[in-house]
Structure 1
Amino acid sequence: MLRIRMARTGAKKQSSYRIVVIERAKARDGRFVEILGHYNARRNPPELVLNRERLDYWVGRGAQPSETVRSFLKKKPAAAPAHS
């Protein structure tokens, strides 16, 4: 089963995170399928970048977001479609 979760990157005490698609049984920083974005809490305000198109694709394929990623999605909803 695929999960959408965070993988830690960065130096000691200077963490940032990638938002990745990964097999549920893999380690936190293990081999992932695809990078969907990143999160840096050390910035003010915290920086969150997500590729919503790819996120929607993977959710459609059955990937389940972790609780943390799900809370990010509530804070940063999808952009409204552009009208012609």
Structure 2
Amino acid sequence: MATKIRLARGGSKKRPYYRIVIADIRSPRDGRFIEKVGSYDPMLPKDSEDRVKLNVERIQYWLGNGAKPTDRVHRFLDAAGLLKREPRNNPQKAELGAKAKERLEAKKLADEEAAAATAEAATEGASEEAAAE
């Protein structure tokens, strides 16, 4: 049986609370699970000790039996020192979309035209002053 260590959502609307559970990969997210091995309360501050609670012995047992953690649970296990998680790199995430690039290009052209008009007005003003003297 393929198992995962994952989050099962509980709590009321806009007040999430998660159980960290061992579940068959075919069972639904909030449905049947094999064992509860921890909890996660995202409403608590990040430095709170009660934000993530883990039953380390049971998690190590299930990892030894082939359970695969989800990405979020893998982060918790990395913070607890149970697993090592390599940071991911998505350089395309920071790129602007096509429309944003078009808007930025249009803004640059408008700024250049405004700067050129200002410089032209300044040179005309300087030439008028020189002619007046």
How far off is 1:26 after superposition?
A: 1.1
One-letter amino acid matched to 1:30: G
Superposed, 1:37-48 pairs within 5 Å as 37-45=38-46, 47-48=51-52
Look up the equivalent residue of 2:60 and give its one-letter code: D
| Matching residue of 1:15 | 16
Structure with more relative contact order (C-alpha pairs < 8 Å, separation 6 or more): 1
- The alignment partner of 2:63 has SS state of helix
Letter aligned with residue 74 of structure 2: R
Aligned length: 78
Q: Is 1:59 the equivalent of 2:63?
A: yes
Higher strand content, 1 or 2: 1
Quick one: which amino acid aligns to residue 38 of structure 1?
S
Q: Taking structure 1 as the reference length, what is the TM-score of the superposition?
A: 0.87
CA distance in 1, matches of 2:64, 2:3: 11
Give 1:44 deviation, angstroms.
Answer: 1.3
Q: Aligned with 2:23: secondary structure?
A: strand
Residue 62 of structure 1 and its aligned partner are, at CA, apart by: 1.0
Identical pairs, percent:
41
Q: Which runs of 5+ in 1 are unaligned?
A: 79-84
1:73 to 74, 77, 102: 77
Aligned-partner SS, 1:71: helix
The structure in which a higher percent of residues are helix is: 2
Whole-Å separation in 1 of the counterparts to 2:45 and 2:66: 34
Q: CA deviation at 1:25?
A: 1.3
Query: TM-score, normalized by length of structure 2?
Result: 0.56
Distance in 1 between the 2:66 and 2:81 partners? Answer: 19
Could you list the structure 1 runs, at least 4 aligned residues long, displaced by more than 4 angstroms after superposition: none
